[in-house]
Amino acid sequence: MSNNIPSNTHIIATPKPITVNLTPYAMAVFSSDLDVAIKSIDTSTRFSAAKFFLICLSIELAIKSTLLSLGLPKGNVHGHDLDDLLQKFVKSINPSFITAKDEKLIQQAVRFYSREPGSSKGIVYFEANMKEQALKGYKDLPKIKDLENIHRKFQRYLKKNDLNIG
């Protein structure tokens, strides 16, 4: 093939830069990785604050991943308020994705996950509401199995919509 360029000529190709937002994908992968950790924590004989926290965090990241992939600006998808994020998710995706029971369980979890007075994450820092719950046997928290079922719903959504590699 003749290209009229002498063989001793050096050619420099400078490609145009591209912009790729990997944030939604990275959040989905993070959520999926948390799923592996969640499955490894046995709660058949005891409450696990770590599992409760990981489930909430995984749901948060799944919601944020979805909202960002739909083009919502990052400024509309910040914070850790699962209830607020869930409302944005439902409005953007499908109002019937989450049942009224699921929504109630998430609202119940929010108080311990992200709305501790004077703190942003009562469960992580074992603030007053978690100390009280420990003394009460965690009876005011949603059952981990119920939260796990909601979490699985989000994991299936991520996989179905190709938002993660799992």
The closest alpha carbon to 56, from 137, 99, 100, 120, belongs to 120
| pLDDT score for 120 | 58
Element (H, E) at 130: helix 128-135
DSSP annotation of 93 reads: S
- Angle subtended by helix axes 23-40 and 49-69, to nearest 10: 160
| pLDDT score for 13 | 80
Are 82 and 60 in contact, with CB atoms under 8 Å apart?
A: yes
| pLDDT score for 56 | 93
Q: Give the separation between CA 127 and CA 49, rounded to whole angstroms.
A: 12
| pLDDT score for 118 | 52
Residue type, 81: D
| pLDDT score for 140 | 87
For the chain, which residues make up each domain, given as ranges?
23-160
Specify the pTM: 0.81
| pLDDT score for 146 | 95
Angle at 39 between CA 54 and CA 115, to 5 degrees: 20
The DSSP code sequence of 38-76 is HHHS--SSS--HHHHHHHHHHHHHHHHHHHHHTT--GGG
Tens-binned pLDDT, residue by residue, of the chain (166 aa): 556 777 777 778 888 877 666 788 899 999 999 999 999 999 999 999 999 999 999 999 999 999 998 888 888 887 888 888 999 999 998 888 899 999 999 988 888 887 655 555 667 767 777 888 888 988 888 999 999 999 999 999 999 887 655 5
Tokens of 87: 């409302």
